[in-house]
Structure 1
């Protein structure tokens, strides 16, 4: 079998040797022709020093990933079986939990293979493929999942451009099909998910600890506004935590039925709460006109969104969004501010909070911060940080 070599610049060599797994496009020596997606490569410095073994898998982050510092690494079935078994073992406390049956069992570079993530939903695995390169190893990954105890069926999401339109392509891959919806548990709360219904399942697993905090520490006796509410998961956790009333706001038409479903499977009367299908910024205008003020506001927008009247990006617009949030937050109210935008570091995110409160002439106190939970292990080096989630819970007070 032919061996392929790619050569990187000195700065990239230093980053890779210090633990960064990413092979950035601008870190390659010029004039190279990259091999096909999924090709296993030896990564070398300009002076031909071996750095390690990786594979070509182009995505927004780079052209591929380093998976080993060794030259003899073979990305075969046994390689993936070992990586996935190790990751499975590290989640053994979650496997034993009766209260939580949905979590991540393989988190890309944090578990040794960038571009690949696998979630577990109450007996079913969901693979996320982030490039055509990693998808080339589908057979090997499926073999590894078939050997895991308790995995009844496997689904997949191709999170890359395929270059072809496939009509009604199924996400189901092998084993048994999951019920529709599939009911999972998280800290004792029920959530309905669908593994074969578009890019999302109905719940973002990386917010598990934040939802628990809202239920256990912040919701009781408070009125709650959940913006960009999706399927109302934060609203359900607040209602179960003793919130007086919740309001869920999302632009997507399907959010209403999905939120009703989440309330109903937890024995909650959804008619006692407000579920609003509307652009969040339009809702802010309405709420201010009506002098509404909420004791707890959750804001977890997409990194980028476009409606008919507005384009939103976290990097440019989050501070202004926080100002809108603060305007409808009661005195001594609490804001749960979150973003999954990798382009915004925690220091920068804190500055959004600080500047928004200064602009609104408010005092504020940061109560706690959150990053990714333990089933989302990350890589953090001087050159690379895969801990994308930033959550700041803060209290505002009028001066």
Structure 2
């Protein structure tokens, strides 16, 4: 879970996530960097973790004029994989080398919500990482799941998580591939799914990249929609703060038009409670998503 969410918790530039007995820390401003020792001491006193590991984003630190750092800040070095439970599902999390801070805890609620639509369905989970959406679909009785990610570590971790949860008997295909390339291949093969999940990385790190990102989101979603028949569901997300929900809806409308599909929005996804949004800092509302049905 997220313990401290930067500006939203009145500590700009500080993000702290807790995974079992370890803390994953991101220091993204020069002011927080200067107070790092005090912050670590307070976290140790209040939370008594086994260890605190630095996963600060190098680009953000460079913009602040501070050097990129990753590594152990206090206590024990975490094992290669830490076991945690979310929504009743077990995960192996790699704090040291995994993406983001080790896990995408901001999708916790959305994984559970979407899973309720997957019983006896064929599911395509794109940018699957360690299998959050895939595993929740398994737990809710999906008929089969295909998971696609470009990272070998992510695919290996996903396979471990399947075994960890005793889902080995469920029909599953794990594909290490560029997602857009794989979607094109599925389209060439006229492959169809009941549910398609698109949870890509940040395409628009700033507003200056918005036009390019909009084209990338549109092309990605067009390919996803082409894999759905009437009644099929597309769960699509953007974690780009520069893309607001109205812009995202317009992008999906363009994608549907290009795909020759008529769609309905049946649900809107957002951040969980441990990722609050201050009304005086709307930029903190970075994660948004739509569940659309092809009609």
Q: Normalized against structure 1, the TM-score is what?
A: 0.67
* Alignment partner, residue 276 of structure 1: 175
* Alignment partner, residue 121 of structure 1: 19
Query: Greater helix share, 1 or 2?
Result: 2
> Residue 2 of structure 2 contacts residue 105 of structure 2 at CA under 8 Å; is this kept in 1?
yes
* Alignment partner, residue 88 of structure 2: 188
CA distance in 1 between counterparts of 2:93 and 2:127 reads 18
* Alignment partner, residue 252 of structure 1: 151
Instruction: Report how many residues are paired.
Output: 284
| Counterpart secondary structure, 1:206 | helix
Counterpart check, 1:315 vs 2:214: yes
Residues 46-78 of structure 1 deviation map (CA, whole Å, 9 limit, x = unaligned):
xxxxxxxxxxxxxxxxxxxxxxxxxxxxxxxxx
* Alignment partner, residue 291 of structure 2: 393
* Alignment partner, residue 106 of structure 1: 4
Q: How far off its partner does 1:270 sit?
A: 7.4
* Alignment partner, residue 296 of structure 1: 195
CA distance in 2 between counterparts of 1:392 and 1:196 reads 31
| Counterpart secondary structure, 2:272 | coil
Counterpart check, 1:219 vs 2:151: no
> Residue 300 of structure 1 contacts residue 338 of structure 1 at CA under 8 Å; is this kept in 2?
yes
Q: How far off its partner does 1:340 sit?
A: 0.5
CA distance in 2 between counterparts of 1:163 and 1:151 reads 26
> Residue 223 of structure 1 contacts residue 294 of structure 1 at CA under 8 Å; is this kept in 2?
yes
Q: How far off its partner does 1:198 sit?
A: 5.6
CA distance in 2 between counterparts of 1:351 and 1:204 reads 26
Residues 157-211 of structure 1 deviation map (CA, whole Å, 9 limit, x = unaligned):
122237768xxx7622213343331100111111111222265354201000011
Q: Normalized against structure 2, the TM-score is what?
A: 0.89
* Alignment partner, residue 329 of structure 1: 228
> Residue 336 of structure 1 contacts residue 393 of structure 1 at CA under 8 Å; is this kept in 2?
yes
Describe the shift of the 1:313–1:263 C-alpha distance in structure 2 as closer, same or farther (beyond 3 A).
farther
Describe the shift of the 1:117–1:201 C-alpha distance in structure 2 as closer, same or farther (beyond 3 A).
closer
Describe the shift of the 1:365–1:242 C-alpha distance in structure 2 as closer, same or farther (beyond 3 A).
same
Higher Rg:
1
Residues 266-299 of structure 1 deviation map (CA, whole Å, 9 limit, x = unaligned):
1111783111111112212221222211100000
| Counterpart secondary structure, 2:284 | coil
* Alignment partner, residue 208 of structure 2: none
Counterpart check, 1:239 vs 2:138: yes
| Greater relative contact order (Cα < 8 A, sep 6+) | 2
CA distance in 1 between counterparts of 2:119 and 2:99 reads 33
Gaps of 5+ in 1: 1-102, 306-311
* Alignment partner, residue 172 of structure 1: 72
* Alignment partner, residue 48 of structure 1: none
Task: Pick which of 169-178 and 270-279 moved more.
Answer: 169-178
> Residue 171 of structure 1 contacts residue 195 of structure 1 at CA under 8 Å; is this kept in 2?
no
| Counterpart secondary structure, 1:344 | coil
From 352, 355, 365, the counterpart of 2:251: 352
CA distance in 2 between counterparts of 1:197 and 1:110 reads 26
CA distance in 2 between counterparts of 1:235 and 1:222 reads 12
Gaps of 5+ in 2: 205-210
Describe the shift of the 1:360–1:315 C-alpha distance in structure 2 as closer, same or farther (beyond 3 A).
closer
Describe the shift of the 1:365–1:345 C-alpha distance in structure 2 as closer, same or farther (beyond 3 A).
same
Q: How far off its partner does 1:241 sit?
A: 1.3
* Alignment partner, residue 130 of structure 1: 28
| Counterpart secondary structure, 1:203 | coil
> Residue 314 of structure 1 contacts residue 339 of structure 1 at CA under 8 Å; is this kept in 2?
no
Counterpart check, 1:286 vs 2:185: yes
- Misfit runs of 4+, over 4 Å: 162-165
> Residue 129 of structure 1 contacts residue 158 of structure 1 at CA under 8 Å; is this kept in 2?
yes
| Counterpart secondary structure, 2:283 | coil
Q: How does 1:135-174 map to 2 (within 5 A)?
A: 135-159=33-57, 160-161=61-62, 171-174=71-74
What RMSD in Å do the two structures reach over aligned CA positions?
A: 2.2
